[in-house]
Amino acid sequence: MRIGEVARRSGVSARMLRHYDAVGLAAPSGRSSAGYREYSADDIVRIFHVESLRALGLSLKEVGQALDDPDFAPGEMVAELEVRTRARIAREEDLLARLRTVADAGADRWEQVLEVVALLSGLESGDASSRQRAALSAEAMSGERLARALLDEDDLNVAGALRWALARSGDDPTSVLITALADRDAQVRRRAVSVLVETPGERAVVALRSAVADGDPTVRSRAVLGLADRGDPDVVPALIDLVVDGVADVDAGEALGVIAADGAADMIVAAVVERLGSDAAVRRRIAQALGEIVGPAAASALNRLADDSDEGVAVTARYLIGRR
């Protein structure tokens, strides 16, 4: 087939076919009786291969290498393309977030637009002091944008300024934070749950409950303690898990004491005592948690632990009994 017919049947323009020919990517290999160059069936198959690889985002040079290199590894190519695509999506999402920020700020004059863009640049600066100054003057920023900046911030002073600005904005950042709880980066999830703890509303409570099952112990403990601070009685088993696992166990013990004071002491003590096992370190932490709970049930459990076979557990229990 000659170039015009190939263009009609393949959907690839004649101009692009000539370009493929010029760069040596897909050239007609035959000649008609009149001397015209013609594409063979194999040439057309190669054209479709070229188009398929271009659709995946490969450059023409990479397409040529993929088709001509017998050792070419498709799996490596797909993995690299995935990385590129994610980076491109991240850039596009950042641009979209910037546009939303400008729109939310109600900037209807170029001076206002430039002011918002300058503020965004300040929040993204590599200098922590510049980011902090930007956060403290971020009255034009939406809560969503401030929350996103907070999720990326590792400087405690800047994070504090962003939290202040977020509180002043009056916006609900819960949607952004819920999305962040699914992030692969544990640091992002930790920042998200820390903000959720300070965020009012039932949606924040639901998000915190989902974070109780997070694989990162810091995320999990912050969510559990945040729910305990809200007086959620359903979080008692998770608090006991923290005590047993030695993750924020002191804070968890104090939280159990607060919840127990509302009339649940006997139930909590029974659940705690059930977790006593052969590990002396666990029994010592349980004794410390029982020391935070008032009432006869906790006192009875401590009296039993005062005779524990492990001297460290026994000493801890006797000390706590003496403080009651």
At CA 287, angle to CA 312 and CA 300, rounded to 5?
115
Give CA–CA dist 158/14, Å, rounded: 57
**Using H for helix, E for strand and C for coil, what is the string for the chain?**
CCHHHHHHHHCCCHHHHHHHHHCCCCCCCEECCCCCEECCHHHHHHHHHHHHHHHCCCCHHHHHHHHHCCCCCHHHHHHHHHHHHHHHHHHHHHHHHHHHHHHHCCCCCHHHHHHHHHHHHHHCCCCHHHHHHHHHCCCCCCHHHHHHHHHHCCCHHHHHHHHHHHHHHCCCCHHHHHHHCCCCCHHHHHHHHHHHHCCCCHHHHHHHHHHCCCCCHHHHHHHHHHHHHCCCHHHHHHHHHHHHHCCCHHHHHHHHHHHHHHHHHHHHHHHHHCCCCCCHHHHHHHHHHHCCCCCHHHHHHHHHHCCCCCHHHHHHHHHHHHHC
pLDDT at 10: 83
Give Cα 289 distance to the centre of its chain.
Answer: 32
Which residue's structure tokens are 């006869």?
Answer: 296
pLDDT at 123: 63
Using an 8 Å Cβ cutoff, are 168 and 139 in contact? Answer: yes
Nearest to 14 by CA among 22, 3, 1, 24: 3
pLDDT at 228: 94
Tens digit of pLDDT at every position of the chain (324 positions): 888 888 888 888 888 888 888 888 888 888 877 777 888 888 888 888 888 888 888 888 888 888 888 777 777 777 888 887 887 777 667 656 666 666 665 655 555 555 555 556 666 666 777 667 656 565 556 677 778 878 887 777 777 777 777 777 777 888 889 999 999 999 999 999 998 998 888 999 999 999 999 999 999 999 999 999 998 889 999 999 999 999 999 999 999 999 998 888 999 999 999 999 889 999 999 999 999 999 999 999 999 999 999 999 999 999 999 887
For residue 32, the one-letter residue type is S
**For residue 53, what are its two tokens?**
């690889």
pTM, whole model, 2 decimals?
0.56
Largest CA distance in the chain: 110
